[in-house]
Amino acid sequence: MSKVNVAVLGATGMIGQRFIQMLEDHPFFELTGLYASKKSEGKKLKEVLKLRDHNLKDETLKRKIETMEVEEVGRKVRAVFSGLPSDIAGPTETDFAEMGVAVFSNAGAHRMDPDVPILIPEVNPEHLEAVREQPYYGETGGFIVTNANCSTTGIAVPLKAIDAAYGVKEIFVSTYQALSGAGYPGVASLDAACNVIPFIKGEEEKIETELCKMLGTYDGSSFRFSDMKVMANCARVPVIDGHTESLVLKLRDEPSLNELEETLGNFRGEPQDLKLPSAPKSPIIVRKEADRPQPAMDIYAGKPARARGMAVSVGRLRHSNGYYKAFVLSHNTVRGGAGGSVLNAELAYAKGLL
């Protein structure tokens, strides 16, 4: 089976570079171009490299950044991975879809569009069908799929497992979000150093609405949102990569902690069944140590090598007052960013949409 030609949009940003990292030598996709705005045109990737964690090939590091012209890029590729900044992502992604390109976006612009799925293959693979209702799809084969916001993704995977088994009624989540979530240059070091910033613009609203869209249903023509209640408090902490999140849950049933732990650890979704290349064998790693998960130790959970950073870690399961408590950790620019969209594209590929 021949590889599908793809491009990365926003190749100079944190998410764009994670896309490049995850698409190097990909079994389904051939990365044909790295695109960004004019000011980086002609620079080599290694001149604008921002990742601390990287092991890119020399030939990848020497690739040149090109200027993004929608018409030109669109003629060359079947799919684009969009790490564009939110202000230009909206119209640009629409332009690509209209040209017949499949857009796998990390941006928030289209997430709440009525015919665009927020897709996490372990959580709501059936929502991918919604792309067939997008106006472009019938005409050109183009469509838009978004991943979820980074802090939503980390909790959506375990919440799916719990909801399916025991019914989730209320979610209280507080986030300890990493600096890389704000992109580059992002947060000023003078604000970040030895500090907590208890505000991330739009983040709480994203968690509260995206979860309900993803954990709701798709009836073949529209999304019906879940009626679970979500209360989010979001804060930035001086961590480089990895969003930690505290959870308190009210469930319909009352499983024992052992049952809950087994439900989480044994959870498998469609990416696991389909053996998608970036799918971690175990999408949820249950940590039993007293003080895990931690960003320092657990952000790259996930096996095999291609799924490094794609597993979500859950630990400190507790039960009191009729509520369940836990801490969850996920890699915000891998599982909650570029890796999420790559997995979405792998699912679309496996379903014959590419």
Query: Is 150 a catalytic site residue?
Result: yes
Binding residues for a second copy restricted to 93-132, rule: CB under 8 A: none
Rounded to the nearest 10 degrees, what angle do helices 150-166 and 203-214 cross at? 40
Is 257 near a second copy (CB under 8 A)?
no
**What distances in angstroms separate CA 256 from CA 235, 263, 293, one per listed residue?**
31, 11, 21
Q: CB–CB of 63/34 below 8 Å? A: yes
Q: Compute the least distance from the CB of residue 345 to a second copy, in Å.
A: 26
CA distance 292 to 21: 27
Please identify, among the stretches 19-27, 108-116, 151-159, 228-236, the one whose residues bind a second copy according to the rule CB under 8 A. 228-236
SS3 197: strand
**What distances in angstroms separate CA 199 from CA 38, 157, 196, 234, one per listed residue?**
32, 24, 9, 6
Query: Is 194 a catalytic site residue?
Result: no
Catalytic residue (one of 26, 110, 127, 243): 243
**Both tokens of residue 90?**
């909206």
**Stretch (H or E) spanning 282:** none
Q: Compute the least distance from the CB of residue 143 to a second copy, in Å.
A: 33
Residue (68 or 239) nearer to a second copy, CB: 239
Identified binder of a second copy from the candidate list 63, 85, 140, 172, rule CB under 8 A: 172
Residue (145 or 247) nearer to a second copy, CB: 247
Is 191 near a second copy (CB under 8 A)?
yes
Is 2 near a second copy (CB under 8 A)?
no
Count of chain residues binding a second copy (CB under 8 A): 61
Please identify, among the stretches 15-23, 215-223, 240-248, 341-349, the one whose residues bind a second copy according to the rule CB under 8 A. 240-248
Residue (71 or 227) nearer to a second copy, CB: 227
Catalytic residue (one of 110, 127, 150, 331): 150
Q: CB–CB of 162/131 below 8 Å? A: no
Q: CB–CB of 335/321 below 8 Å? A: no
Please identify, among the stretches 31-39, 67-75, 196-204, 343-351, the one whose residues bind a second copy according to the rule CB under 8 A. 196-204
Q: CB–CB of 27/11 below 8 Å? A: no
| Residue 90 phi, psi (nearest 5) | -50, -70
CA distance 145 to 116: 6
Binding residues for a second copy restricted to 130-149, rule: CB under 8 A: none
Is 323 near a second copy (CB under 8 A)?
yes
Is 195 near a second copy (CB under 8 A)?
yes
- Determine how many CB atoms are found less than 10 A away from the CB of residue 256: 9
In sequence order, what are the beta bridge partners of 287? 315
Q: CB–CB of 3/30 below 8 Å? A: yes
Is 85 near a second copy (CB under 8 A)?
no
Q: Which residues bind a second copy (CB under 8 A)?
A: 14, 47, 49-50, 52, 55, 172, 174, 176, 179-180, 184-199, 204, 208, 229-231, 233, 235, 237-240, 242, 244, 246-248, 289-297, 300, 315-316, 318, 320-321, 323, 325, 327
**Residues assigned a catalytic role:** 150, 243
